[in-house]
Structure 1
Amino acid sequence: MPRADVAVTGLGLITPAGNTMDTWDAVCQGRSLARRDPNLAGLPVDISCRITDFDPVATHGRRLSRRLDRFTQFALAAARQAISDAKVDPAAWPASRVAVVLGVGSNSLQHYQREYTRLDQDHPELVSPMALPRSLPNMAPAEVALDLGALGPNFSVASACASGPTALAVAHGLLTSGQCDIALAGGAESALDRMSATCFAQMRALSRRTAEPHTASRPFDTERDGFVLAEGAAVLTLERIDDALRRGAHARARLVGHASTSDAYHPVAPHPHGAGAEQALRAALTHAGLAPSDIGHINAHGTSTPSGDRAEAEALRRVFGETPPPVTAPKSVLGHSLGAAGAIEAALTVLTLEQQVIPPTANLHRQEPDHPLDIVTDRPRRTRLDTAVSNSFGFGGQNTVLVFTTP
C-alpha cells in the first residue's frame, strides 16, 4: 500500500495548563496539575485537573456560550486556534471541502444533573429545551462547522479514551480518499461532573491519593493506583501534504500511518498482555511503511492504572524489543481527559517532533522490573527525532495508534 502522508498545519489546545504553548511548557516542566476540586467536595475522590482560566463568555460571547456545553466550548476554542495556526481563512476556504471530525467519549452529564433535578421536583416546565441538543456528542463538530462555515463531512467519533486519535485517523482517510481538502480533527471532553467522578471512583479507576493530588497520577510507577480526571480539547488542522506545500503552509509534522483494533476481551479492562495494543502498533507501522527500529519516540497512553500500564508496557516490549524508544506519559501532568486525551497527546507528539524535545513523565520513582522502559523523567530530553507513535486505548477494548514523522 503506498503511503499517503497528511500534513499537520495547525494546532489548537485547551487544557488545564492553558492553550497550545502553555500546555507544551507545562508538560516540559513535568509537574502534575492535579488539585483538590471544590466541585467534587464530599465525593470519595475529590481531585482533578480542571481548567480554571477559561472564560467562555469572553471567548464565545454570552449568547453562544450559554448554548454550548462545556466540552463544545473547548472544542470551538481549540478549532479556532488550529485554523489560525494553519493560517487558513474560513472566509476564503472551499467550504464544501472542509471536514470536521471530533472524538467525544460520552455525552455530557454536566447540565443533565440540573435538568433532572427540576424534573424530579415536578417542574418539567423548567427543563431547558436545549438540555438534549446541548449535550449530544455530535454538537462539538456541528458547532465548529456552524461557527466556521465548514460544509464538508461532519461527525463525531466515540471510542472511549481512543476517541480523539480515532477521529484523526478517520480524517486522514477522508483526505487521502479525496472526500475533503482540509480536515479539522481531534477531540473534546469535560466529564468533571459529580456523577462521572463518582462512577469512575466506584469502578476503582481513580487514584485515591487525595491528600497529595500532585503525586496521584504516576504512570508506570510500581505504586500507581489509578488516574486523575481531567478535561480539555485538541484540534489539528490536516491537509494533504502536496496541497499544504502548494499554498505555502508550514507543515509542523506529517501523519503517515494509523491503525485501530479491538481487544474483544472485557467491557472495561484491557487485555492483560496488551494483545490488541500490540496488534494496533504493528498495523500502524505497516500502514506507515515503517519498521519498529524506525521509531524514535513513544507517547504512551499511560493512564496510571495498574492493569493498563502493565498491558501497554508488555505490548511495547514485544513490538520494540529489549530497548524500546524513549517514552513519555503526559497524563502524569495533565490528567486523563478521556475522549480528548489522545488528541491532546497527538498534538504533543507533533510538538515533540517539532521541538526535538521529549517532555518528562511526572511522579515516576520506580518501574516494575518485569517491564522496563526508557521513560523520560525529571527533565526534558533533547534528542534527534524523525518519527514517533502516539498510543490511545479505551473502555470496550478500543485501541488506536498514530504514527507521525517530521515534515
Structure 2
Amino acid sequence: MKTGIKRRLTIMIAVSLLLCLPVTAWAAENPADPGNTAFILLCSALVMLMTPGLALFYGGMVRKKNVLSILMQCFTVLAIVSVQWVLGGYTLAFGSDHGGLIGSLEFLGLQGIATCSSVGSIPQLAFVGFQLMFAVITGAIICGSFAERMNFTAFVIFILLWTTLVYDPLAHWVWGGGWLGRLGALDFAGGAVVHISSGISGLVAALVLGRRIGQEKEAIVPHNLPMTITGASLLWFGWFGFNAGSALAADGLASLAFLVTNTCAATAALSWVTAEWLHHGKPTVFGAVSGAVAGLVAVTPAAGFVSPLASIIMGLLVGPVCYLAISRMKEKLAYDDSLDAFGIHGVGGTFGALATGVFASTAVNPAGADGLLASGGIRLLSVQLVAVAATYVFAGIMTFLILKFIHRFLPLRVSSSEEEAGLDASLQGEVAYSQVSGDGQNLSC
C-alpha cells in the first residue's frame, strides 16, 4: 500500500517537473512583463495618434486652399517611415554600435528579432513599434516649415532621405549606444533627437525654398482655428504616451513623466497667453494652444529627470521664450517658417535640453545626473550644450545637402501658378471645402 502511494507521488512529481520545463525555458528567453508590454503598446498607439493630431494642428493654420496638402504630407510621412523603419531604419538607430556614429545592419528587415527577444521587460518588437512612432512624428513636424509651397515628389524623396541620413544616426547617437549617450547627454524622450532636429531642419528647408508668394505683402492667418485646437488637444493627449512611454515600463518613472508633461504644458499655455496679453492687449486661443505645445516640447528631454516643481518653472519660462522667438526673431530675420516649426520645436527643444542640465536631479531619477541646481556643477549643462550644438550642425548641414541633391534632379518648389491656385487643387486634384446649395448641388470648388 505504502509502495503504491510512493510510486504515484513520484509519477506526479515527475510530470509536474516536465510540465514546468517549457515554462522555465520560455521565461529565460523572454522575461517580458505582460503589464509593461501592454503599457508600451498603448503608448505606441498614443504616439501614432500624434501624427494625425499634428496634421489637424497644421491643417487649421494654413489657408483653406492648402489644407489637404498638409494633411497629405503628414499621412505620407506615416506611411513612408513605417516601411523605412522596418527595412533599415531601426537597425541603423539601434543596431550594434559602429564608432559611436551608426548602428550595424544586423536587424535589416527586422531579421534576427524573434517574438521572444526582449529589451528590458518588454518584447523587442514592441520597442521597435514604439520607436517607429517617434521617427514618424519627427518627419511630420518638418512639414510645418515649408507648408504651402513644396513639390510633393521632392517631399517624398526628402522624407525618405532625411529619416535615413539624419534621424536614424541622431537616434543612435543618443539612445542606441552612440557617442552622445556615452558622453552623458540626457534626452528622455527626444528633445534633441526629435524636436531640435526637426526644428532646425525645417528652418533650413524654409530658407532654401524661399518665402511664400504674397507673404511679404500681407499676413497669412489660420483659416480654421477649431481644427487647430482639435489637433493641439490630440497632441497633448498623445504626448502622454510619448513621454511616459519612454520609461519603457508602467512604473513610478512613467508616472513622473506623465505628471510633469501635463504640468509643463499647462503652465506654458498660461505663460504664453500672459506674454501676448501684455504685448498685444488680448489673450488668444491660438496663443494658448501654441504655448501648450511649446511646454510639451520643452519638457520632453527632461520628463524623467526633473521634479514637478521644476516643470512649472520650465513652463513659465518657455512660453515667453517661444512667443518672442516667433513674434520678434521671425520678423527681424524675415524668414518664412510657415507654421513655426522652428519657433516652437527648435527653440522649445533647445530650451528644454539646456533646462535639463539645470534642473535634472538624481533625487528624482538615480539613473540620470545632477544638474546645476542639484549641485552637479556645470558638467551636465556643458554636455547638454554639446548635444544641442551637435544636433544643430549635423541636422542643419545634412538637410541642406539633401535638398540640394534633390534639386539637381527635380524642382523643390511648385510653380507660381500652382502655388497661387493652392496645392490641394494643383497637386492633389481635390479641395477641402466646396460651396453646396440647399438641394446639394455643387456650385463651385
Of Structure 1 and Structure 2, the greater helix share is in 2
Name the larger-Rg structure.
2
Of Structure 1 and Structure 2, the greater strand share is in 1
Fold similarity call, TM over 0.5: no
TM-score scaled by length of structure 2 = 0.27
